[in-house]
Amino acid sequence: DARVTQTPRHKVTEMGQEVTMRCQPILGHNTVFWYRQTMMQGLELLAYFRNRAPLDDSGMPKDRFSAEMPDATLATLKIQPSEPRDSAVYFCASGWTGPSNQPQHFGDGTRLSIL
Amino acid sequence: GQQLNQSPQSMFIQEGEDVSMNCTSSSIFNTWLWYKQDPGEGPVLLIALYKAGELTSNGRLTAQFGITRKDSFLNISASIPSDVGIYFCAGQIRGGADGLTFGKGTHLIIQP
């Protein structure tokens, strides 16, 4: 089965450090999403892209977070500088949007701990 | 923003029992989805619903898209140990073209 691949699976770093999370969407999918999961807030949408163009990043703290898609096989989410409140599990999901939509499939996440 | 109210928050049941959980919203959603999440993994899609009133099954799972477009339920029949996990409902306004709004999840625990 095709899968969304996320790296790293776990990341522990000190506050102030830059964090980069990577996602390889399912081949052929044209829409990529970033979500964050915490105990308090649950699963929240951060940003998403279609055909590599950013469509909505209203859920993302703009001052420290940035999301990009350098090519169709790679999406990145960066935090600079990181803060303890950024500790969460970050999920990437991909899907197909077109005349016949296909639902989103998720990767296994990056578990981020900021000390 | 939109919110999904998912209930119950947790369920403790005996193996073999049927399970029912639901989601409601004050806003209309044009797509409803149900996901299951196991510890340390991402949500896995169980069922996707695209039309109001639609009833869809996937093995022992059955889900329905409410006629008002503001609710959905998921039933699991004859529960087995591997059904343990957290179940999430999710909605999309633009039928697949935008991000998901998630419920807070239903934690299913099965007692042998």
How confident is the model over A76-98, as pLDDT tens digits?
A: 999 999 999 999 999 999 998 87
pLDDT at A75: 97
Q: Does B55 touch chain A (CB under 8 A)?
A: no
Long-range contacts of B63-72 (CB under 8 A, 24+ apart): B63/B32, B63/B34, B65/B32, B68/B28, B69/B28, B69/B29, B69/B30, B70/B24, B70/B25, B70/B26, B70/B27, B70/B28, B70/B29, B71/B22, B71/B23, B71/B24, B71/B25, B72/B22, B72/B23, B72/B32, B72/B34
Q: What CA–CA distances, in Å, run from B72 to A24, B41, B95? A: 31, 24, 15
Q: Please list the ranges in chain A whose pLDDT falls under 70.
A: none
Q: Retrieve residue B40's tokens.
A: 């340390």
pLDDT at B2: 67
Dist CA B28 CA B101 (whole Å): 12
Find the angle CA(B90)-CA(B94)-CA(B100) to the nearest 5 degrees: 25
Q: Which of A56, A97, A103 sits opposite B45 (nearest CB)?
A: A103
Q: What CA–CA distances, in Å, run from A40 to A74, A77, A87? A: 29, 21, 12
pLDDT at A57: 87
Q: Which residues on A lie below 8 Å from B43 (Cβ)?
A: 43, 91, 106
Q: Which residues on B lie below 8 Å from A4 (Cβ)?
A: 42
Interchain pair B100, A91: CB under 8 A? no
Radius of gyration of chain A (CA): 14
3-class state of residue A88 by DSSP: strand
Q: What is the mean pLDDT of each run of 10 residues along chain B (112 residues)?
A: 88 96 94 95 95 95 96 97 97 81 96 82
Q: How near does any CA of chain B get to the CA of A55, in Å? A: 9
Dist CA A59 CA B44 (whole Å): 22
Dist CA B35 CA B7 (whole Å): 14
